[in-house]
Amino acid sequence: MTSRAPSTIGLVLLVACSGEVPPAAAPATKAASGSAVEQLFPLEDGNLYHYVTKDGDETGMLVAKVKRTDDKHGELQLSNKTNRFVYAADGVTYDHGVYILKAPLDVGASWSGEHGGVVKIAAVDATAEVPAGRYMGCVRTVEDGGALPPGKRYETTYCPGVGMVLLVVSAPVGQARAELKSYGKPVVIAP
């Protein structure tokens, strides 16, 4: 795989990530925004998300810090970029209006994706096993078609009370992955 795939994963994670809790499915969180999908894309102020990235034989990591600016707005701060999000009654969008998740959360529901393709809900009861643990009751989306190159596909899994736990970017030349390793509040160690 070329060196462009790690950049792709980094860019996608900048957009669709959210940091350490027990490896079992996290308890549902109460939506602060009133959005129908906040439970699947929670932005809890101060949380860190640590993802292990894999691209062929190469491994790496991506860390995102959550900043919740108010009930309807939040940010994911990465080393090279900050992504801003808005909770709407029917979903969560980037600050420029493109949906990340959109209600109704029914298999087959679709909307225009951030990469120029069409996002479809592929599952609403998915299970994901990642380094951070095993999560159930997850929603899996797939973006392909549209303006995406033939064979390119983004598969993202969002789990209740956690957020994005798995991203798989597939292309004819290979595959890149980002798997949640840990998330939660940072630990402060006093001297």
Q: Which is nearest to 170 in space by CA: 117, 133, 106? A: 117
Q: 40: how many CB neighbours lie within 10 A of its CB?
A: 29
Instruction: Please report the pLDDT score of residue 24 as a whole number.
Output: 45
Tokens 């034989």 sit at which residue?
Answer: 57
Check residue 16 and give its pLDDT: 41
Q: Structural domain boundaries of the chain?
A: 4-184
Angle 89-93-94 from CA coordinates, rounded to 5°: 150
Considering the four listed CATH numbers 2.40.360, 2.60.40, 3.40.50, 1.10.3470, the one that applies to the domain covering 4-184 is 2.40.360
pLDDT tens series, the chain, 191 aa: 334 444 444 434 433 443 444 444 444 444 578 898 999 999 999 999 999 999 988 999 999 999 999 999 999 999 899 999 999 999 999 999 999 999 999 999 999 999 999 999 999 999 999 999 999 999 999 999 888 888 899 999 999 999 999 999 999 989 999 999 999 999 989 87
Q: What is the model's pLDDT at position 148?
A: 82
What confidence score (pLDDT) does residue 146 get? 81
Contact 180, 173 (CB under 8 A): no
Maximum Cα–Cα distance across the chain: 54
Question: What is the pLDDT, as a whole number, of residue 10?
Answer: 43
CA 29, 43, 155 angle in degrees (round to 5)? 95
**Token pair listed for 95:** 């600050």
